[in-house]
Chain A
Amino acid sequence: MSQTATEPSATRRPDAATLLGRVAPLVFLLVLMFVFSVLEPRFLSELNLFNVMRQISITGLIALGMTFVILTGGIDLSVGSVVALAGLVAGALNKGSSANSLSLDDTVAAGYPLIVSVGAAALVGLGAGLVQGVAITTLDVPPFVVTLGGLSAFRGAALLYSGGGPISSFDDTYRFWGQGKIGPMPVPVIVFLGFALLCHIVLRHTRYGRHVYAVGGNAEAARLSGLNVRALTLSVYVIVGLFAGIAGFVLSSRLNSAEAVAGLGYELTVIASVVIGGTSLFGGIGSVAGTVVGAILIGVLINGLVLMNVSPYVQQIIIGVIIVLAVAFDRFVKGRRRR
């Protein structure tokens, strides 16, 4: 846990190793940024850095919710499909119909106001999380299996809903949330960082946050301490669903288009962000700050490789290797501290 001031260490200077453990993902990120800035001067340009942030803001949002889930020792594989479904629903409400842009009817039908789109996207995510959370807590099916089912089912629902084609060309207020800027800051980045701060406060300073760590740390002890483990477990799936729903809206806004194949493979990026950020897949250990750093790390990696014209195939290989290395580094540092 990042706030533990006196963890063990093999060295005489406790603080050095403890500090290193706490900031291991950050160190990794800085090294990576340094390497890229040497190899490719364009990397450090202000425009490019904001670009990176904009790119990670959507998977980053989901990763915030995923942090709660993984802290309890769970997992959610369905987030990418929920993104697609929520984006479609939000987009259709903005357009006033779910007719996709392949259909000839190009009249600007009277759509619903923004708040309806956003609310609906959030509700879709919340509903998806609720259904899966109930299945996990009452049917006693492992989260991996339930959400693997969700991965397929919600994608299917998205395809069914959209009829296969994209829904595009939204109004200005809608597009603002994905494409707009406040000063130099892209709006989705502000949304991401704002929610990150909120999640940080919830996990670190509220009773609910304490309970999440407790359930992940030792579910039986949590139950015997009077915690409602079922409700808590259920709640984290609702939270990640909610974030996936909001992310679906933001993504459709940024692309000015919603389609059923949006968010394909997001679960990998999202889970990688959380785990690279130092959250343990076994639950009970991790932080939002770590997740933010993890998300940025992946964004920087992809961006740097693109700038250097590395082929997308090679990119995938490199990203895979880096994910493993980053976690290995984190484990190594923490392992030293345990000794």
Chain B
Amino acid sequence: MARESPPLLALHGITKRFPGVTALADVSLDVRAGEVLGLLGENGAGKSTLLKIVSGAQRPDAGTITWQGETATLATPHQAQQRGIVTIYQEFNLVPDLTIAENVFIGREPLRATGLIDWPRLARDTGDVTRRIGLDLDPMMSVRDLSVAEQQMVEIARALSMQSRLIIMDEPTSALSETEVARLLRIMDSLRHAGLAVIFVTHRLTEATGVCDRVTVLRDGRLAGTRPVAGLEMDELIRMMVGRSAEQLYRRPATRRAPGPVRLSIRNLRTEGVTTHGTVLHGIDLDVRQGEIVGIAGLVGAGRTELARAVFGADPRAGGRIEVDGSPVRVHSPRDAIRAGIGLVPEDRKLQALFLALAVRHNFSIAALGQFLSFGVFVRERAEAEALEHYRRTLKIRMSSGEQMVVNLSGGNQQKVVLARWLALKPNVLIVDEPTRGVDIAAKAEVHELLDELAGNGIAVMAISSELPEVLAISDRIITMREGRITGDLPAAEATQEKLMALMTLAPVDA
């Protein structure tokens, strides 16, 4: 590793204020060629803001930026790109109906003398870059048919084809499965060996310590420190991030409740292949008891999200019965589900949960407006604001006020707003799909505690997570799924990562 080389990019004293918040105060960091730098910190610490400044999407109020030893301004994304700084956003900038090759070389397609696109060469050139990162797909495939992970790799291929020097990724792993994460980390490693610099944000510390050379930690918009990963203790890292040590964080009650009667009962639930989501469900039977948290583990494509959506009435079912508290319920839409006391925190907050241009208060109350009405018509804004204030305190949502547009909250705080929306409904059954995606470790522990508390209050909780440690940490009982069927059902006390992994991948699927 090129430890001695001068930094490729250095930031000094960067400050960025928004109305009511100082997102960054006097932050400095540097990154060298051939290095992967991790950027860590709690939700709202200022990580995304810092990356936006580097990528030219936002301008700092104070501070200097040095690129290869010279002072530089990065006033627009275009300027940043010309220097070789490429950002891979969470929402990909791909054109779904174009091919992989067209997306990689968009605007820079190789042309023949006639001015028409040289397709064979386009395909060849694309193959060259995609192979470098181990993406083994036909360059002429349409991007629409790719998985999230593959689309992300197309973005990386594009960055490589542009001769970039610095690649920036904001929470690139949060939407990936474990195998996909491993592959991405390998790609980062190969980028490093190719002499590129990478800055990446993650809330999973093992990823950071696994691939990074150094980590820079932000806390409350300030620099908490930069450390080489070699020899760094996990505990010190956590202390830098949250100002507390790890033991104080993860408090899982040793004594679990005895579960009560069955609250949610699913019998022979089936779907057909034409629904929006991929996996077909083949006769799912599942009970969730009062006060019980049932974790659902499975690989991508196992049908976990499909199960959640089918129970919630978000996708059509081909058959099966659903009972809540012993009585059958007819659930043909999310509206029906909510009436039956079922809530769902969906998997993708931007697409499925948030109204980005609306105020936090409006986002929070949308499902539970019925509680805040006078004469059944007018919204009692005072009561609404008080309820929000209650959840702001319990969930420690960081926002300048309830009137703030939700798009301006940090990712983790947006997730908390979505959680608050469903808590306000006081459901009998709560299904959470990836409830801590993009949530920092401290808040994650808080969400876990909260789920535990909800279960303690008698709610039946069904929790889907791609992170096995999370499933193990929160569940009373764990169900594993594979190819639309349940392959295992065991008490959390008896479960280990290995056992679950085996059930998720190897268990014979009886047809």
Q: Which residues of A contact B (CB under 8 A)?
A: 1, 3-10, 12, 14-15, 18, 205-208, 210-211, 213-214, 217-218, 220-228, 284-285, 339
Contacts of A6 in B (CB 8 A): 19-20, 400-401, 403-404
In the complex, are the beta carbons of A213 and B353 less than 8 A apart? no
Expressed in whole angstroms, the minimum distance between the Cβ of A270 and any Cβ of chain B is 23
Q: How far is the CA of A285 from the CA of B405 in the complex (A)?
A: 12
In the complex, are the beta carbons of B357 and A284 less than 8 A apart? yes
In the complex, are the beta carbons of A207 and B403 less than 8 A apart? no
In the complex, are the beta carbons of B357 and A217 less than 8 A apart? yes
Contacts of B492 in A (CB 8 A): none
Contacts beyond the supplied A6-B401, A228-B335: 17 A-B pairs with Cβ under 8 Å: A8-B405, A205-B379, A206-B378, A207-B377, A207-B379, A208-B377, A210-B369, A211-B366, A213-B355, A213-B362, A218-B356, A224-B353, A225-B334, A225-B421, A226-B339, A284-B357, A285-B357
Expressed in whole angstroms, the minimum distance between the Cβ of A289 and any Cβ of chain B is 17
Q: B20, B346, B362 — which one has the most chain A CB atoms within 10 A of its CB?
A: B362
Asked whether any CB of chain A lies closer than 8 Å to the CB of B59, the reply is yes
Cβ proximity bits B313-341 to A, threshold 8 Å, 1 near / 0 not:
01000000000000000000111011100
Asked whether any CB of chain A lies closer than 8 Å to the CB of B351, the reply is yes
Known: A3-B403, A225-B421. A9 touches B357 (CB 8 A): no
Q: A1, A8, A14, A210 — which one has the most chain B CB atoms within 10 A of its CB?
A: A8
Contacts of B359 in A (CB 8 A): 1, 3-4
Q: How far is the CA of A339 from the CA of B355 in the complex (A)?
A: 19
Q: How far is the CA of A6 from the CA of B401 in the complex (A)?
A: 7
Nearest B-chain residue to A285, judged by Cβ: B357
Q: How far is the CA of A223 from the CA of B359 in the complex (A)?
A: 18
Nearest A-chain residue to B366, judged by Cβ: A225
Nearest B-chain residue to A283, judged by Cβ: B357
In the complex, are the beta carbons of B357 and A339 less than 8 A apart? no
B interface, size bucket:
35 or more
Q: A14, A15, A221, A223 — which one has the most chain B CB atoms within 10 A of its CB?
A: A221
Known: A222-B366, A226-B334. A4 touches B403 (CB 8 A): yes
Expressed in whole angstroms, the minimum distance between the Cβ of B471 and any Cβ of chain A is 23
Q: Which residues of B contact A (CB under 8 A)?
A: 17-20, 58-59, 61, 312, 314, 333-335, 337-339, 344, 346, 351-359, 362, 365-367, 369-370, 373, 377-379, 381, 400-401, 403-405, 408, 421
Partner of B358, one of A1, A5, A14, A206: A1
Contacts of B335 in A (CB 8 A): 226-228
Q: How far is the CA of A72 from the CA of B59 in the complex (A)?
A: 33
Known: A4-B403, A213-B362. A224 touches B355 (CB 8 A): no
Known: A4-B405, A226-B367, A227-B366. A213 touches B377 (CB 8 A): no
Q: How far is the CA of A70 from the CA of B421 in the complex (A)?
A: 26
Q: List 5 A-B contacts (CB under 8 A).
A: A7-B408, A211-B366, A214-B366, A217-B357, A221-B352
> What 7 pairs between A and B have smallest CB-CB spacing?
A14-B19, A217-B355, A226-B338, A225-B367, A5-B403, A226-B335, A207-B369
Nearest B-chain residue to A207, judged by Cβ: B369
Q: How far is the CA of A101 from the CA of B337 in the complex (A)?
A: 59
Contacts of A227 in B (CB 8 A): 335, 366
Q: How far is the CA of A227 from the CA of B335 in the complex (A)?
A: 6
Expressed in whole angstroms, the minimum distance between the Cβ of B385 and any Cβ of chain A is 12
In the complex, are the beta carbons of B377 and A210 less than 8 A apart? no
Contacts of A15 in B (CB 8 A): 19
Contacts of B20 in A (CB 8 A): 6, 14
In the complex, are the beta carbons of A224 and B352 less than 8 A apart? yes
In the complex, are the beta carbons of B19 and A207 less than 8 A apart? no
Q: How far is the CA of A5 from the CA of B338 in the complex (A)?
A: 31
Nearest B-chain residue to A215, judged by Cβ: B355
Contacts of A220 in B (CB 8 A): 351-352
In the complex, are the beta carbons of B373 and A207 less than 8 A apart? yes
Q: A6, A213, A220 — which one has the most chain B CB atoms within 10 A of its CB?
A: A6
Contacts of A1 in B (CB 8 A): 357-359, 405
Known: A213-B358, A226-B335. A206 touches B352 (CB 8 A): no
In the complex, are the beta carbons of A5 and B352 less than 8 A apart? no
In the complex, are the beta carbons of B405 and A221 less than 8 A apart? no
Contacts of B403 in A (CB 8 A): 3-6
Q: How far is the CA of A71 from the CA of B366 in the complex (A)?
A: 16
Q: How far is the CA of A123 from the CA of B316 in the complex (A)?
A: 36
In the complex, are the beta carbons of A218 and B314 less than 8 A apart? no
In the complex, are the beta carbons of B356 and A217 less than 8 A apart? yes
Expressed in whole angstroms, the minimum distance between the Cβ of B483 and any Cβ of chain A is 25
Contacts of B334 in A (CB 8 A): 223-226
In the complex, are the beta carbons of B405 and A7 less than 8 A apart? yes
Expressed in whole angstroms, the minimum distance between the Cβ of B61 and any Cβ of chain A is 8
Known: A4-B359, A226-B338. A210 touches B379 (CB 8 A): yes
Q: How far is the CA of A8 from the CA of B401 in the complex (A)?
A: 12
In the complex, are the beta carbons of B400 and A284 less than 8 A apart? no
Contacts of A9 in B (CB 8 A): 18-19
Expressed in whole angstroms, the minimum distance between the Cβ of B330 and any Cβ of chain A is 15
Expressed in whole angstroms, the minimum distance between the Cβ of A20 and any Cβ of chain B is 14
Q: How far is the CA of A207 from the CA of B335 in the complex (A)?
A: 15
Q: How far is the CA of A6 from the CA of B402 in the complex (A)?
A: 9
Expressed in whole angstroms, the minimum distance between the Cβ of A97 and any Cβ of chain B is 42
Contacts of B312 in A (CB 8 A): 224
Q: How far is the CA of A5 from the CA of B20 in the complex (A)?
A: 10
Q: How far is the CA of A3 from the CA of B401 in the complex (A)?
A: 12
Q: How far is the CA of A223 from the CA of B351 in the complex (A)?
A: 12
Nearest B-chain residue to A14, judged by Cβ: B19
Contacts of A4 in B (CB 8 A): 359, 403-405
In the complex, are the beta carbons of B401 and A224 less than 8 A apart? no
Q: How far is the CA of A10 from the CA of B16 in the complex (A)?
A: 9
In the complex, are the beta carbons of A339 and B352 less than 8 A apart? no
Q: How far is the CA of A217 from the CA of B407 in the complex (A)?
A: 12
Expressed in whole angstroms, the minimum distance between the Cβ of A198 and any Cβ of chain B is 13
